[in-house]
């Protein structure tokens, strides 16, 4: 599996972070501790990524499967 860089705006990332926090709150309210723990890690990484963006845009990373031969 390879990693691909995707351009993303700071505004788009802030929306993604907000939605991720909403999902985390929902998981916690539902008592789904294991899923909430995983989602908390995702939110933490997103926040880390957003602080690393310079200006109004930057790059996110996405795993991609290599093409079938």
Closest to 52 (Cα-Cα) out of 15, 11, 17, 10: 10
Give Cβ neighbours of residue 14 (< 8 Å, ≥ 6 apart): 50
Per residue in 2-33, pLDDT tens? 777 777 888 888 999 999 999 999 999 999 99
The predicted pLDDT at position 67 comes to 64
- Give the three-state DSSP class for 32: coil
- Which helix (H) or strand (E) covers residue 25, if one does? helix 10-29
The predicted pLDDT at position 56 comes to 56
């Amino acid at each position: 599996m390879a990693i691909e860089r995707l351009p993303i705006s700071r505004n788009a990332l802030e929306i993604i972070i907000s939605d991720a926090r909403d999902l985390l709150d929902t998981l916690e309210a539902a008592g789904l501790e294991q899923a909430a723990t995983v989602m908390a890690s995702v939110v933490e990484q997103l926040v880390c990524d957003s602080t690393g963006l310079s200006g109004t845009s930057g790059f996110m990373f996405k795993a991609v499967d290599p093409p079938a031969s």
